[in-house]
Structure 1
Amino acid sequence: MMDNVSQITMFFLSGLNETNKHRFILFFLTLLCYCVILIANTFVIVIIIMDKNLHEPMYIFLCTFCMNGLYGTTGFYPKFLWDLLSPVHVISYSGCFVQAQVIKSFVCADLSILSVMAYDRYVAICRPLEYHSVMTKQRLIMLVCYSWLTPFFIIATNMFLTSRLKLCSPYITRFFCVNWVIVRLACFPSETAVHNMVAYITIVIYFFHGIFIVLSYMYLIKTCANSIENRAKFMQTCVPHLTSLVVFLVTLLFNVIIMRFGSKDLSPAFKNFVEIEILVIPPLINPLMYGFKLTKIRNRILVILTLKNK
């Protein structure tokens, strides 16, 4: 049985080899970005938790969204910052799998949370009289657990199958661990058939998440077009969600296209940026956008700032 388990105990990350000349500048820019992500997401989370007027499904989902942003970025930034100051870029076998699990489940959970947010807005605008009977406390808890636990266990299944592969190389040509990159290190590609099947099933599952979100917003736009009141609701509460969706999908699609099918002529610096944009743009933009766009959160922020100035 042990023959099927990799004996590699350490991976060498070569993605940062091209950044030696600008390492300290990159370190301070990355640290600044991470600090803004931590402060902005934590601020929104604390406001929602502390203000009882914000204990509504829409804001609970937003709180979950920001928590997921903290979860995903914690799996990347501390190790990346350490590597920027370190002459040797290595990660343990188990640490590599944990990082890959965190980053991939963060991406999938983001899409799950966006789907339950779309469902919440559909019920609120298209079935307003039934909203409180549909979005009960029990259903809210169920949707939050679904958006977090389902991606975690689906990706954990992928990672478990990857851990059973015998790997023939400890060298990863990236600066953080990604599941499909680890799979490419397998000694016998024929052994990855089951893994590939589960990976395709995962893609299909989250593709249908995306289809559900798009169809929900198409129906919402159609419903809101004939009502001034519904248009106002849509502009106030749905536009931030729709913007988050567009930012997330464009970022993810760009990432997949460049990393999977990108030309070898592309500069390493450009590929490095593309590789981490999913961990920079959505976690950075989402809390700032919701904080300024959603009236209740914006008003709460203004109250806090006013009290501090006084």
Structure 2
Amino acid sequence: MENITVSSHFNLTMFVNIGHYRYLAFVFCLLLYSFIIFANLIIILVISRERALHEPMYIFIALLSINSLYGSTGFFPRFLMDLLSDVHLISRPACFTQIYIIYTYASYEMTILGIIAYDRYVAVCHALHYYRRMNSKKVIKLATAAWLFPAFGILILISLSARLPLCGNEIQKIFCANWNIVKLSCVTTDVNNIYGLILTIATVFFPLFYVLYTYLRILIICWRSSAEFKGKVFQSCLPHIISFVIYSTTGFCDIALSRYDIEKINPFLAVTLALEFVVIPPALNPLVYGLKLPEIRKHISRTLFMV
């Protein structure tokens, strides 16, 4: 049996030594984090204060912005500290806390996008029954399910990983990741792997295929409808499609990176791919919805002039 390493800290090994350029990187990332906070807060403020936007679709968009604030806050403060540090050690409790925040952020993003897809499906395919099927009680139930299921699922995942005896403490990431810790285990990880697969299917692949199914149904309806109807559907659905494609692409890059040998990849490319997952969706979502949906864009302009 390999030597079991009892360590109170993990070492994040993917950080690249860029010398004095780290200060420039720090300023850039700080500005990016500030933009994410500002842009998502504007979306939340506009939707919460404008009664005309108290519709299911806009409420779910506000949930996306809340989740962006949640996920980026779980990543950026620690990342900014690491940029200025020569040592990238993180304590076990802090590491598992970061895993919980980033993994729940990822799951929330997919489940909320799945709910938005359902909302658009009902609005297009069952327009006459929309307000009956998407009443306030239904919205609350969907939002609650989208938050609670990943919260408990990820908690169990981390509990299974935290009990593993480890034969090392180096994590080939710029943030803590569950799979990287599981790979350090000195014992069999069959239970972790099976549960992780089930959780991935429930929180990633099921929403993914459901989104694809709903848009297939919407496409069939649009195919038989007038050009004016197609234009309205395209306008309301395009931001969600863009968000879904962006998140799916960045999520796939992160999953592929965690399964690949990092040492065979250019270090700067590896860091870029790792950053996409926690940076691009929170930064682009408010731009996509703020610029593409006329109702939100109109109220954003009014709000900014009032601030």
TM-score (normalised: structure 2) = 0.94
Question: How far has the Cα of 1:276 moved from its partner?
Answer: 1.4
Q: Tell me the equivalent position of 1:203.
A: 200
The correspondence of residues 1-310 of structure 1 with structure 2, limited to 5 A, is 7-188=6-187, 190=188, 192-205=189-202, 206-228=204-226, 229-261=228-260, 264-307=263-306
| Secondary structure of the corresponding residue to residue 75 of structure 1 | helix
Q: Which moved more, 1:169-178 or 1:125-134?
A: 169-178
Classify the secondary structure of the residue corresponding to 1:11: strand
Structure 2 distance, partners of 1:79, 1:235, is 40
1:6–1:164 contact (8 Å) kept in structure 2: no
Q: Do the aligned partners of residues 164 and 7 (structure 1) sit closer, same or farther apart at CA in structure 2, a change above 3 Å counting?
A: same
- Equivalents in 1 of 2:150, 2:18: separation in Å? 33
Q: Which amino acid in 2 is paired with 1:35? A: S
Q: Deviations over 1:59-109 (max 9, x none)?
A: 000000110011111111000001111232211111100101111111111
Instruction: Report how far residue 263 of structure 1 moved.
Output: 6.6
Letter in 2 for 1:251: T
SS at 1:280's partner residue? Answer: helix
- Relative to the length of structure 1, the TM-score reads 0.93
Say whether the 8 Å CA contact 2:113–2:240 is kept in structure 1: yes
State the SS of the aligned residue for 1:76: helix
Q: CA deviation at 1:262?
A: 5.5
Task: Measure, in 2, the Cα distance between the counterparts of 1:265 and 1:7.
Answer: 29
Q: What code does the residue aligned with 2:218 have?
A: L
Specify every segment of 5 or more residues in structure 1 that has no aligned partner in the other structure, as ranges: none
Does the aligned pair in 1 maintain the 2:104–2:150 contact within 8 Å? Answer: yes
SS of the aligned residue for 1:88 comes to coil
**Aligned mates of 1:22, 1:265 — CA distance in 2:** 24
Quote the Cα distance in structure 1 between the aligned partners of 2:296 and 2:212.
Answer: 26
Alpha-carbon distance in structure 2 between the residues aligned to 1:283 and 1:67: 10
C-alpha distance in 1 between matches for 2:157 and 2:258 = 19
For structure 2, list consecutive stretches of 5 or more residues without a partner in the other structure: none
1:66/1:6 CA distance change after superposition, 3 Å: farther
Counterparts of 1:105 and 1:266 in 2: how far apart (Å)?
28
Q: How many residues align?
A: 302
Q: CA offset at residue 209 of structure 1?
A: 1.4
Identity fraction in percent: 37
**Alignment-mate amino acid for residue 209 of structure 1:** P
Q: In structure 1, how many angstroms separate the alpha carbons of the residues matched to 2:266 and 2:166? A: 28
CA contact under 8 A between 2:179 and 2:258: conserved in structure 1?
no
Root-mean-square deviation over aligned CA pairs: 1.7
The CA deviation at 1:167 is 1.5
**Contact 2:43 2:62 (C-alpha < 8 Å) held by counterparts:** yes
